Structure 1
Amino acid sequence: MTAASRALTRLATWPDLTEVRPSCGTGRALRSGGVEIAHFHSDRSVDLHLTGRAIRLFERDLRHSTAIRLRPGSPWVTVHLECETDIDLLMTLVSAALQAHQRCPVADVAVLPRCNEDREVALTRESPVGI
């Protein structure tokens, strides 16, 4: 069983999450209410809709994690899953994402930002986020 499938199996038991088809069309997704929270794109890659505000709040810590990739202007982060520690990190970030979306719900779910799948630019630890 891959790290992503283990993570998806654990998250699928959370009462606030429902498995759905991802809007990007790749892989599997988890939704809370009308908002897609996580896209499982591969056996090792998950895009997490953390929100721009939460990314700014946790930016320093996110930049220091080798498992996290940030994209300029994106409210999504990409989490690379290789070990149990990465899965634990994802669980913590999913919890933060759920809280962020509950605090500031999206008014129009039809205009949700797309995930990071197929985006080319990744931020390094030294790059400004600009979100």
Structure 2
Amino acid sequence: MTLASRAFAQLATWPDLRRTVPSCGLGRAVSSIHGEIAHFHSSRDVDLRLTDRAIRRFAKDMRHTGAVRIVPGSQWVTLRLDAASDVDLLLTLASVALQAQQTWPDPVGRLLVGCNDQRGAGFVKADLSGV
């Protein structure tokens, strides 16, 4: 079982989340009654939807980890699951995302931009073979 599969299975057991088809059409997702929380696009990459407020609050800490990619202007952060600690980080941030959606829901009529996978903003592996 991959780390992403394990994380997805755990999130799917949370009482406020349900399995769903991601709006981008790629992979698997979990949603709350307030909207999508996470898209699992591969065995390693997960897009997690946070509120603007949550991203601003945790941006400095998230940027210091190599497991998280923040895309300016996106409500989604991309997590690379390479270790069990990355799954722990995902579960913690998913809890933050769920609480933020419940406490500070998106304004009515606000256009939600697609996840980072649709923006080509996942992790890019550098080709260092010629170096």
Q: Shorter-chain TM-score: what band?
A: 0.7 to 0.9
Q: Deviations over 1:49-100 (max 9, x none)?
A: 0111101001110110110001010011000001110000000000000111
One-letter code aligned to 2:88: D
- Alignment partners' CA distance in 1, 2:96 and 2:110: 23
Question: Deviating runs (4+, > 2 A) in structure 1?
Answer: 106-113
Give the superposition deviation at 1:113: 2.4
TM-score, length-scaled by structure 2: 0.87
Query: Can you give the 5+ residue segments of structure 2 that lack an aligned partner in the other structure?
Result: 123-131
- Alignment partners' CA distance in 2, 1:33 and 1:24: 18
Residue of structure 2 equivalent to 1:103: 103
Q: Deviations over 1:21-66 (max 9, x none)?
A: 0000000010000400000000000000011110100111011011
One-letter code aligned to 2:51: T
Residue of structure 2 equivalent to 1:64: 64
Query: Can you give the 5+ residue segments of structure 1 that lack an aligned partner in the other structure?
Result: 123-131
SS of aligned partner of 1:43: coil
* Aligned residues: CA RMSD: 1.7
- Alignment partners' CA distance in 2, 1:2 and 1:73: 30
Q: Tell me whether 1:83 sits opposite 2:103 in the alignment.
A: no
Residue of structure 1 equivalent to 2:93: 93
